Structure 1
């Protein structure tokens, strides 16, 4: 029987994933249907005896140094620098030591740490990818939660950095894409800074991406801070529509963070509460999408013809209001797709029902902020004029955070 802490963690992870991947709102009695909306494809809550190693069916441990970034640590095997704490956490520890005369690119190694990945054990292609962690602090510390494309041929195979923190920026984390022509310091990304001078090392935070075809959205504690699509790459190749594996590591030193100095206290720890990957596939038959005034996204007149307007209407449980949110980026009802009319990208472009074509005007991302976004336009599904009357047409509009752009699936 699972421990109460493990059950609590699983429930929190499931709720968080549901809120983000499927924009599920208040708890409902229809638990079976809601559970089907969010499918867990990978989960580790790091339950186990204190001092034990990570689950080898999920993770492999990398060893050695890293000359590419001029990092200073030696990554050790087993549970020496990566171990469970007996309280449902993985603890990756960086130490100033060299117990086995490890040799690094710069000579005798000065530090040890750990790096784990799921290569050969698990890959993801789309979904909600998250980890709840507490980062270390201090000059030279460089914790990261990230993914590499398979087969690895960096940078052409791609890299998705979900969270990186460098010790000289205690209040800021970064999310970045690397690929052909935009790698290293040329990566495409942004930072997220906590308010009021808070440090990420002071508490646990949840770092996530919502990943769909031609779209990746980053969030911290459910707060979306950037979205990237092929349009951000200036004509360079988007290499993120394929499988990637997960990586957790704590580096010491390197080009970006700089080396530790006299102010850096060792040991330092990256504490990981859970890692999960979920998809947003709805159950057979679909589920309602509720919005402004508790009303539903509705196909006008339940008419499956191409070009039928999609509108707001009282929820009635009919097939015209049962939508399937797919990991392929589509949102479907009556056998057809939610479509931006005329492939429009301007504010006010209406949405309709249309044969599924695989086009970018039929791809959508449900974010942690409960927006439904068309990545091509980088705009939100919107109730025209903030009007909650039956029959109000739906459109896309620049994302404002308004109630007429907030949606609940299920």
Structure 2
């Protein structure tokens, strides 16, 4: 797990953060607003990047800073981080692509000599920090021995107190030798490096994270931090988990995305590792929490509207297992009031939105069914307005691209078409 890593900052990075701390007055710090809203059971988006822009353009400088250097970041990593669009660029399809390449510049020096690889690392230290809330990103990781993608956070006081006293929250780390597993970890004073506190999540049926996009998130409150993958919660940590040591998750943190190559934990690339390798990021989103002390995902309640402005509806307002789900004119009835829960379920009339027989096939029937915790009832709502069944990795779809009253709903391979786009509330 991530505990094999000693530290994630470099001397150059620390110097950068110390200068950033001097400019902290311009940081967007939403900790007060998040706390003030805590008792109101409401949420708001405080920061997001959907990576819209022309192909080949750099990530927004108003949101991200690209770090540079080849220090190894305390982990004997092999890459040199650049600020070039060769290593971090938009793809013109709403994604950020971080690319690790073999280095061809003989003048590029790393801690071990001429650098073998280049890659990118982006942070929001100068532009955005937040204390508490929901932090998530939809990412497709690279593949191969020696690859080390990560989505994580560091305390904004890093420049003054140093690491690990500033705290570190690893939302997602993957190493290529474990293609089906990601790790979530806390690092703080007295529980860093090999003593980091965390857990792993492994995909079922031998699947690899590099095969498709997945949503990685944490929900952070004053008393606990909860990790999830595709809406499935897999660990919660509280001050009791640090065994009497200081719980340092009480101040703003900033975001980091990076793709490392090699290092003490993943090991070096081998003959089976092809280059270039890419870490593709669909979006990053931060919201305030719906209350001051909740775990899991952020619940949302309301109508789900789709193609033609029609509402997702339980046919006949029936509550029997197997009741069809359809499109219907919006009426405000209870059969059209849905709750996206912290556990990844979508509920109406006391039951769950369910894929019949847990099918992974295109055209699988969507129905109302007694909630049972299976993957057929796990859903993720994305910034692109897809409502995805995470068990099958397929999108909720209006059959035949129809908006007619009574159109049945099904799951289908995600295409981005209008009949797969949904608005909640």
Flag whether TM exceeds 0.5 (same fold). yes
Sort the Cα spacing of 1:42 and 1:263 in 2 relative to 1 into closer, same or farther, 3 A. same
Q: Residues 178-199 of structure 1, C-alpha deviation per residue, up to 9 Å, x if partnerless?
A: 0001111210000000000000
Corresponding position: 1:53 with 2:62: no
Q: Deviation per CA, 1:57-108: give whole Å up to 9, x if none.
A: 0000000013310000000113220000000000000001233621000000
The answer (yes or no) to whether the contact 1:210–1:367 under 8 Å persists in 2 is: no
Farther-moved stretch of structure 1 (104-113 vs 91-100): 91-100
TM-score by length of 2: 0.59
User: Partner of 1:231: helix, strand, or coil?
Assistant: helix
Q: Are the counterparts in 1 of residues 219 and 289 from structure 2 also a CA contact under 8 Å?
A: no
Unaligned runs of 5+ in 1: 1-20, 22-35, 291-365, 372-399, 403-409
Alignment of 1:109-124 (within 5 A): 109-124=115-130
Q: Is the 8 A contact 1:217 1:367 kept in 2?
A: no
1:214/1:238 contact within 8 Å kept: no
Residue pair 2:66, 2:122 contacting (<8 A) in 1 also: yes
Query: How far, CA to CA, are the matches of 1:100 and 1:37 in structure 2?
Result: 54
| 1:2-401 alignment runs, 5 A limit | 37-67=42-72, 68-99=74-105, 101-152=107-158, 153-281=162-290, 367-369=342-344
Task: For residues 344-367 of structure 1, give each alpha carbon's deviation from its aligned partner in whole angstroms, at most 9, with x where no partner exists.
Answer: xxxxxxxxxxxxxxxxxxxxxx84
For residues 226 and 342 of structure 2, the distance between their equivalents in structure 1, rounded to whole angstroms, comes to: 7
Question: Hey, what's the Cα distance between the residues in 1 that align with 2:100 and 2:67?
Answer: 15
Following TM superposition, by how much is the alpha carbon of 1:401 offset from its aligned partner in structure 2, in angstroms?
A: 6.4
Q: How much does 1:369 deviate?
A: 4.5
Unaligned runs of 5+ in 2: 1-33, 35-40, 292-298, 303-340, 347-371, 375-424
Tell me what 2:356 maps to. Answer: none
Cα distance change, pair 232–171 in 1 and its aligned pair in 2 (3 A): same
Structure 1 residue 151: Cα displacement? 1.3
In structure 2, what is the Cα distance between the partners aligned to 1:63 and 1:255? Answer: 20
State the TM-score, normalizing by the size of structure 1.
0.61
Q: Is the 8 A contact 1:126 1:211 kept in 2?
A: yes
* 2:95–2:282 contact (8 Å) kept in structure 1: yes
Structure 2 CA distance for aligned equivalents of residues 280 and 160 of structure 1: 17
Distance 1:109 1:140 in 2: 15
Q: CA RMSD in A?
A: 2.6
